Structures are given as structure tokens and as C-alpha cells.
Amino acid sequence: MSYATLAGVKARLKITDATDDAVLDPIVKAADAWVMGRVGLDIGPSSDTMRVYDGDGTDTLFVPGGIRSAPSLVETRASTGDSWTTLTATILLRPKAWEVPPGSPHTSLVLASGTWPCGPDTVRVTSSAFGWSAPPPDLVDVAETLAVRAWNARLTGQRDVLGSDALGNPMVSRFVSTRDLDTCDRYRWANSDFGYV
């Protein structure tokens, strides 16, 4: 998923031709990569159809990046290396549909009775709905704003140059506002300390 797009950044810059696309596109991709790195996870929409999670022995399984609808299949195993068994228990999506902002995914799967097996790689979820339905608008804003700032710095002769690297290339300060850092960190915090394959 891309947060910043060439078309979106060009619209912000009021650029209507393709003259500078070859120079602007890498800037857009770098801004997009920065947001992805800061968030720490591609939050979707995802092309994944299967993910493996670590169960923690509770009734709640956190789903990093989220899931938009009930999974088509959930399998569990007692420990890594064991065979998978189809789970037949009732699974609830949380937060409830009316508690989730439009476009946001559910963040956990809750067993109506019982607990998830405890251990690494003990829960396998199959779904065609991992992640957000579309890139969150606030992350798109952060990525596109970063690309616009980098483009404008380039056009002004790199006036925010801090110095040069060992090869003589200019080192440009990449100002990211506290607001933009906080926006990325909200998504990073929501997905911290949980891994998936």
C-alpha cells in the first residue's frame, strides 16, 4: 500500500505536467517509505490471505494491522511444529462494528469461550480482509506533506542543507513536525510488540 502517491503530491504542488516526474517520483517513494518505517507495519489494505500469530493463553488475539471482517478460517495448534486443527468456537470481532471508525479495521479476535493456545505460531488466520480498507487519510497527509517539503527544499537550492556526506552529496534536514510524528506513532503504538508472518 502507498500512503503518498505521485498524483497526490503533484496535486498538492499544483503540477499538471509530467516534466519533473522522474525526479519527483523517488522523493514520493522515499516519503512513503519513511512513513512505512515509522509506523513499522503495512496497515493495508493487504494482499495477505493468511497470517500466523502467537497465542498468549487469553481469550483475545491481537491482529496487527487489523481485520475488516470475520476470517474465513481459523486454525490452532498446541505448539510450533504440531498439525493445524480447525477452530470451531465462536469468534467475535472487537471492537464491535459500531465502535470502529469508518474504514478502520477490527483489532482483535475474541473467543466466546476458551482461550487461544499459548506460544509462538499457534494461531493461523485465513482472510481476504486484513488491514484498512484504504490508506488512513492522516497517514496519507503525513507522507504527502513530507514529499512536498522535500520537493520544495530541492527547488530552493537545498537551503536547509546541513553539510555534505563523504561523497560530497548535500545532507538535507528532513523536518517532520511533532504532529506528524505523533500521527505515525499512534499507528505504531497500536501495532507494537506483536509480530506476524
**Where are the extended beta strands (E) located within the chain?**
50-55, 60-67, 73-76, 85-86, 91-94, 106-111, 119-126, 161-164, 170-172
Domain boundaries of the chain, sorted by first residue: 6-43+135-190, 50-126
Strand partners, 170: 164
pLDDT of 197 > 50? The answer is no
pLDDT of 172 > 80? The answer is no
- Tens digits of per-residue pLDDT, 59-77? 999 998 889 999 999 999 9
pLDDT of 138 > 90? The answer is yes
pLDDT band at 194 (very low <50, low <70, confident <90, very high): very low
Q: Are 170 and 34 in contact (CB under 8 A)?
A: no
